[in-house]
Amino acid sequence: MAVPKKKTSKSRRDMRRAHAALVPVFGGECQTCGEKKRPHHVCPVCGHYNKRPVLKDSRVSE
Ligand SMILES: [Zn+2]
């Protein structure tokens, strides 16, 4: 079995992982309130989906 000749130092290991950070994904913004929201999900701020209220929310005034 192939075995690494030298131990990977903490510095090398961390340098390798410098590009491994996860970046938040935002598919777009809510068409009703303009807040950033995940794609194909109901807006958590105003409870709208596809410009339609789908959640009962007292914060929405209609
Ligand atoms: Zn919204």
Distance 48 CA to ligand 1 centre (A): 6
Domain membership of residue 12 (yes or no) is no
Domain membership of residue 6 (yes or no) is no
Domain membership of residue 3 (yes or no) is no
- For the chain, how many structural domains are there in total? 1
pLDDT of residue 55: 80
Distance 22 CA to ligand 1 centre (A): 25
Domain membership of residue 55 (yes or no) is yes
Distance 25 CA to ligand 1 centre (A): 17
* pLDDT digit string, tens, across residues 26-56: 778 888 888 888 888 899 888 889 888 888 7
Domain membership of residue 15 (yes or no) is no
pLDDT of residue 59: 56
The b-or-e profile of 11-34 (16+ CB within 10 A means b, else e) is eeeeeeeeeeeeeeeeeeebebee
Domain membership of residue 58 (yes or no) is yes
Distance 12 CA to ligand 1 centre (A): 44
Mean pLDDT of all residues in the chain? Answer: 85
User: Which residue range(s) make up the domain with 48?
Assistant: 27-62
